[in-house]
Amino acid sequence: MFATLSDRLEATFKKLRGKGRLTEADIDTTAREIRIALLEADVALPVVREFIAQVKERARGADVHQALNPAEQVVKIVNEELVTILGGETRTLRYAKTPPTVILLAGLQGAGKTTLAGKLGRWLKGQGHTPMLVAADLQRPNAVDQLKVVGDQAGVAVFAPEPGSGVGDPVAVARQSIDHAKRQLHDVVIVDTAGRLGVDADMMQQAIDIRDAVKPDEILFVVDAMVGQDAVTTAEAFRDGVGFDGVVLSKLDGDARGGAALSVRYVTGKPVMFASNGEKLDDFDVFHPDRMASRILGMGDVLTLIEQAEKAFDADEAEKVAEKIRSERGFTLEDFLAQMQSVRKMGSLQKILGMLPGMGDIREQLDQFDDRELDRVEAIIRSMTPSERDDPKLINGSRRMRIARGSGTEVSDVNRLVERFLEARKMMSQLSRGKGLPGMPGLPPGMQAAMGGSGGKKKGKGKKQRGKARSGNPAKRAAQNAEQAQRAASGAPGAAFGVEPEPNGQSEENFELPKEFRHLLGNKDGQ
């Protein structure tokens, strides 16, 4: 959603990075370009004015002019002001001292309240609560049936005593739901109310009556992030009429310009608490202003990525896979398929990669990425026999043709998957054993132990000592050759290799050679 705004801000900051110091003209030019970028993103004009005024005032301060890198200081200022505009600190739900905690959802029709009720219920269930959804939207056709379906998908109980579609009293349903939740021991009640097409006086009064009947601990106003400035206007009207405690942004994964998301917190004075960024019930997150600001500025969102990874991956299973990777042959295509499925639990790869810093530079490539490629990979692996998944080297030409037919792909696709898997497995094994990437300096484990290191490159030039350097003077070189021949004839230790004995008098008897190389000398133990 914020791609256009991010690109414009990134282009503005690039112009600053080549400057050793900032002049007044530079600050004015930068502020003007940021203002244009915000207005094009449909950010409310009062928000833009306040934001630009703060950025210009701080950019003219001593911290920027005395900094070694003024451009980075300006980026830091813009980031901090974005965090302020978005709400500053993360706001969490307030729970009632005596259960159940009542959460009332309200908003325009089509904002996504019913789906969001299921997402919020699923999220609360994951937090250890026992939520219940209440079908108090009795105006919209099939709204009650939709909530039942969403609740079933989320694994959350639904209280729906009335059929809806214009039948039933929503205030009475909301009141009865509290007693029902107490009897069934539900500690959170989420009331889904009817939407409205605009500032409708009758529907606003209905929301007020439901509020008075259930006395909610939290009133959340659901805002469609794709609507634009009209959503902010409606939020103001609802705040003045019914009142609300926080905002939930839905459809944050859309392709709109995102101005409402940046404006609603400043205009209404109420914090954004949650964000819905996809169609699946898992596409629901707590809204963190600092992380959202980082995304807008192209800095990524690594913390959210880590949190999602912790949910998707089992720690014990990950340790088992790590052990298999170290042994190289232990990591199979079956393990690879399991890991790929765990990654997919985190969401689309396009969204996951978009959370990494610097991915804004390759946004076009990310937009062209097709998650269905993973489906083809899964189909190829599932078309293999257990023995083929365990040892891909068994897959010969006829087997590859059979696998291609079974997965609906080409033989070249099977070849590519097997080759890449074998290369990746080898590389992961080398990395896990401290041998470095292929083509980079690395030592066998025995040599690492003998040198008391991890196989890393030694400080300095790191060249292996081969003995005394030979002189370029013919006379001196002849003398060196004669001396070497004399040592070889006398059988001095190490003379055959042209290396002087160690100063400490080490001999062959007390020299400890790694096991991997003992057989080369044919020692007495025969190892």
Q: How would you write the pLDDT of the chain (527 residues) with one tens digit per residue? A: 566 677 777 777 777 776 667 778 878 888 888 888 888 777 878 888 888 888 888 877 766 556 556 677 777 888 888 888 888 888 889 999 998 999 999 887 778 889 999 999 999 998 999 999 999 988 888 889 999 999 999 999 999 998 888 888 999 999 999 999 999 999 999 999 887 665 667 778 888 899 999 999 999 988 887 766 666 777 777 888 788 888 888 877 665 556 766 777 888 888 888 888 778 888 888 888 887 777 777 665 566 666 666 666 666 666 666 666 666 556 788 888 887 777 777 766 666 666 666 555 555 666 666 667 788 888 999 999 988 888 888 888 899 999 999 999 899 999 988 888 888 777 777 766 655 444 444 434 433 333 344 434 444 444 444 445 555 566 666 666 666 655 555 444 443 333 444 444 444 444 454 554 444 444 444 44
Distances (CA, A) of 123 to 131, 290, 301: 10, 21, 20
Alpha carbon distance 259, 239 (integer Å): 19
Q: Report pLDDT for 353.
A: 64
Alpha carbon distance 237, 267 (integer Å): 11
Distances (CA, A) of 419 to 13, 64, 440: 42, 52, 21
- 307-432 CATH: 1.10.260.30
Domain ranges of the chain: 3-86, 101-299, 307-432
Alpha carbon distance 513, 357 (integer Å): 47
Identify how many contiguous H helices and E strands the chain contains and give both numbers: 24, 8
- DSSP E strands, 32-184: 101-107, 131-135, 157-159
Q: Which amino acid is it at 363?
A: R
Alpha carbon distance 4, 375 (integer Å): 30
11, burial (CB in 10 Å: exposed 0-12, middle 13-18, buried 19+): exposed
∠ CA(258), CA(261), CA(266), 5° rounding? 135
Q: Report pLDDT for 459.
A: 41
Alpha carbon distance 191, 117 (integer Å): 8
pTM for the whole structure: 0.61
Element (H, E) at 191: strand 188-192
Helices 315-326 and 333-345: angle between axes, nearest 10 degrees:
140
Here the tokens at position 264 are 């609603």
Q: Report pLDDT for 451.
A: 36
Give CA torsion, residues 277, 283, 289, 291, to 10 deg: -100
Element (H, E) at 249: strand 246-250
Instruction: Please give the order of strands across the beta sheet that includes 218-224.
Output: 157-159, 131-135, 188-192, 101-107, 218-224, 246-250, 272-276, 284-286
Distances (CA, A) of 236 to 91, 159, 203, 381, 467: 20, 31, 16, 54, 84
Q: What architecture is the 101-299 domain classified under in CATH?
A: 3-Layer(aba) Sandwich (3.40)
Q: Which residues contact 170 (CB under 8 A, 6 or more apart)?
A: 136, 137, 138, 139, 193, 194, 206, 210
Q: Alpha carbon 370 to chain centroid distance?
A: 18
C-beta atoms surrounding 213 within 10 Å? 19
Q: Alpha carbon 40 to chain centroid distance?
A: 27
Residue with tokens 């019914």: 242
Collapsing DSSP to helix, strand or coil, 106 comes out as strand
Domain 3-86 has CATH 3.20.20.60: no
Q: Report pLDDT for 332.
A: 83
Annotated binding site for GTP: 107-114, 192-196, 250-253
Here the tokens at position 165 are 């579609």
Annotated binding site: 107-114, 192-196, 250-253
Report phi then psi at 459, rounded to 5. -65, 155
Q: HSE-up of 179 (CA within 13 Å, CB side)?
A: 5
Q: Report pLDDT for 305.
A: 64
Contact predicate 132/159, CB 8 Å = yes
C-beta atoms surrounding 36 within 10 Å? 13
Alpha carbon distance 121, 107 (integer Å): 18
